[in-house]
Structure 1
C-alpha cells in the first residue's frame, strides 16, 4: 500500500487528502477555506472525527504548513516519513503538458513560465510544490493538469475568431479549467445513470469561488466556459468573467497606465462577486449581506443569470442534455443558487424538487416530469488525481 498526499490549491481554498492506494482508502482529508481572507476556516476529517477551527488569515504557504502539522497531531500518520508521494492539481499545462507528469526541476521551471495562463493558480501551485519539496525532501511529486481534459475539444469550440496564424504560432486556444473535476463528474454521472458515458450528453457545473461549466457531448468535452486563462467565462469570486477585450486598452488610457498588468490583475483579483458587491468574494457573506445591500444582491443575480445563460446555450449546442450536474463549493452547498438557476431553466422543461434540493443530499434532485435529470454529485478531484499518480508510479516501476 502506498500513502499519497493530494494537494488541490485553488484561488480561495486548499483541499487535501491522504489516500492509501491502490485501495483508494481516504486516511484523512480536509479543507482550508477563505484563504487570504479574515477568518480562515480549517477543516480536518479522520474517519468519523471532524474538527473545524477559525483562525487568523492564512495564505497558501501557512495553510500547507498547518495541514502537515495537523496530519501528525490527528494521528493520520505517525510521522511525515510515511508519505510516499505527493500529487498536485495544476490548472494550466498549456500545450506543454497534455498528461500527468512526475515533477523535476526543469518541469517546475516550465510551470513557472505558464503562470500567465493562470495567474491566480499556477504561481500558488508552484509555491506549494516548492514548499513540499523542502518539507518532504526526497518524496516524488507529481502534477495532474486541469487543462488536459480539454485538449479533446473540437477545433470549432477550442479556438477564437482571430487570425489563424496567431492560434497556431502562439498556441492561443481554449484551455479551460477544472478539467479534473469535470472529467470525474461525467464519469460519476454515467455510473449514477447506469449508462455508458459515450451515450450521454451532460452539462457539468463546477461552481465555487472559481466557476466553470462544461458541455459534454457523447461522453466527450465539447465546450467549456473558461478560455485561454481562467479569468473568462462566468463571473466568479474575484474574477470578472467575460469582458470586452477593448476594456483593457480603454482603462489603460483612463488610468494613465503604461502596461496592462494593473488592469489584468484587477480583473483577476478585485473583480467578480467582490468587485460588484464591494462586500466579499464568498457567496455565504453575500447571502447575508443581500438582505440589506442592493449591490450584494446584484452580484448574486449576475451569477445566477450567467449560469442560466451558459447552460441554455450549451443545452442547445449539444442537442439537449441527459443531466445537469452540480458540484463545487457553491454547486454542492448552496440550495438557493441551485433553486434560482433551475427556476430560470423551466422554459426548457427542467424542474427541481424543492425538498430534495433543500436537503442537499448527493443524488437526483429533479421532479418526476423534469425534461432532464438534475444531479448533485460531490466532486472528488483528489481521488482522480490519486489514480493518475498511482498509474505513473506503477509505470515507473515496470
Structure 2
C-alpha cells in the first residue's frame, strides 16, 4: 500500500477501513515505526502519557522544539503560560475582524461566479487572522506565507530519504530567519506593548516564570503551521462534503442553527489533520502485537474518526450527528489550543459563503491535488462555481 500516493491521500478511507479490520496495529516499512488505526488505540496513544511520549524522534532526528512535542512537567508549565495569552475572551474578540476579512475576500469573487476556494478564500483568511493576532506588519505577510509552507513541509521528515533531508535543511534556514525577525518584534513589544498576541506571550507569566525567546519562537512556528493549515483544510473539506452530500447542504440551509454541528461532523468525517506523532516509553502490547520501547508511532486520527465501533454509520456524513466524540483536535493534555479559533473561523467563513452563493459545484472534473503536507487532508486547489445570491450581496 502506498500511503503517500495522491490517490490515497485524496481518499484514504478505504485503506483505513482495511487496516482497522486486518491490522489495527501495523509495523510500517522502515525501522522502528508503527501505525495505529482504531479509535481505542489512537485515543490511548494520545492520553496514556506513561506509555506514549510526545517527545518524539522521527527518522530525521529530534522533533522541533514545539509545545506539542513536550511531555509534563515542562509541557504543563508552558501550556499554562500560553493559555494566559490565548484566552477565550481574546478569541471571541476576534469575531468582528474575522467577519470583516471574510467579506473583503469574498467580495471580488462573487460576481465572477467562480473561484479557487483555496487561493482566494480558505487559504488567505486564517493566514490574515493569525498575522493580525500576532501583530505582524502587512508588508511582512508574503514572508509569513513562505515560512508557513516550509514549516508544514516538515511532515516529510517521517518519510525518510532525500525529501525528508531537504525539508529539514529548508526549515533550519527559515528558523534562523524567523529568530532574527521575532527578536526585533519582541524588543518592540517590550518597549511599547500592543494589544496583540505577541505582547501577551511576552508578558504572560506563571509562578514568576515567563516564556524565553526560544519558546516564543517555537510557539510562533506552531501557530504558522497548525493554526493556518488546520483551518484552511477545515473550510475546504466542509465545502467538499457539502458538494458531495447535497441533501446535507439542503438540510443546513433549511436549519442554519445546525452549522456548529456540521463543522464537528466535517472534523470527524474529513479530519484536517490525519496523523499525530508519539513515541513509546516502554514495550506495549496492543491487539496482540508488542511495540518495543523508543519506537515512533503514527496515530492515525483520520482512521480513528471513522471507526464503526465508535461511530454509528461511520461512513455517512451527517450534520446532526449526536454524540460525536471525534478526536480531530487531539485529546487530553495536548488538546489543540487553537481549536476554538479554528471553529470560530470556520463558522464565520461557511456562514458568509453559504449565505452569498447558491448552486455550489466543482468547476473541474480533474481530481484535486492534495496539499503538500503529508499529515493533512485537503486540496491544494479547489476551483468551484456558483451563482451569487443577489439578496445576500445587494448593498444595504
TM-score (norm 1): 0.25
Relative to its length, the structure with more strand (as a share) is 1
Relative to its length, the structure with more helix (as a share) is 2
